[in-house]
A and B are shown apart, each in its own frame.
Chain A
Amino acid sequence: MVEFSFRTFPEVFVGLKGRNGGVRECSALVDPCSEYCIMPKVDAYALGYPEAANDDPVTPADNTLTYTSFDGYGKAALIGIAEVSFGGFSFPNIDFLALDLPQVTMFDVVIGRSLLKFTKLEIDYLTRTLRIVEAKGGAAD
């Protein structure tokens, strides 16, 4: 079991390794209500996913996915991040949407169900603690 303490929102630092070997580590909101993990398009591009930068509505990329949010319907590129790691766990080939959340939210990465489905997670707001009890990723250190 791994424990993370958090301030207001359940968040952890996650390492994102792209198909070009580049690494971005970001503070990420853990959100079980999000179907997919989310990352900024600019980071997806930097990690070797140029298709994430295709905003052309006439000829969208093959991996474009339509999603529903509180803001209505939207479209974003679905990419497979080569490796996601946090807390000593690592998860290969995790689906992420390349989508720019408003920066006033202060989060640009969200860990959603496309990764959380490989974990048993506890969010304890009383003690402001996030626990990963089990994970089907690499073993914790």
Chain B
Amino acid sequence: MFTAMTIALLAAIAVWWLLIQGLKDKPWLTQGVVPTSQEGITSSAPKVGLWIFLAVVSSLFGLFASAYVMRMHGHGGLENWQRLDEPSILWINTLVLVLASGALQIARNRIDKDQLAHGRAHFLAGGVLTVLFLVGQVLAWRLANPNGTLGASSPAYTLFVLVTAVHGLHLIGGLLVLGRTAKQLFGNIDKAGVVTRSRLRLSVELCTTYFHWLLLIWLGLFALLLST
């Protein structure tokens, strides 16, 4: 039922989007330049590109979550699922990732207002907190299963490690971009021209959006782990 409702909602959004894009038009009846602001590549292209990528990432984790639930219910196989006791450090990790996301948001706001010193500090804090989250996740692997054995005897634990590892890899990818942006941010940006500053603001905005989204995905995964 949930799947059907999700699909129906997505379909409704898609139809609505198509309608506002003019898909009711009768192009064979119109000539001349239709009023449009678009000419060549628009300024929002990188943002659109990022959102499309985030849709792909969401699809990936949604499918991991589906696989987790189906494997848990022993779909078509024998049930040998042993419930995973989530280590309490996961709560702390979650808090750290929320703080990282918040720091990046403050950094974005400050950099938009040209308050570079504050912006830099918060941007750096966002990165450091993300690294802390990753360290915490590795600790959580150890705490959830002191033996650390992956394999047939512990499907819940193995899936937990797999899903958190894939999430962590996405964060590491984000950190690489964050590092590149930080290099520019800590460079001689005060004397840079308007164009460079504008690009830098865009980079910071894209980084922030990406990390917010990965926080949302983690919250979803954490909720799934807690509910199973």
Chains A and B come from one and the same complex: no
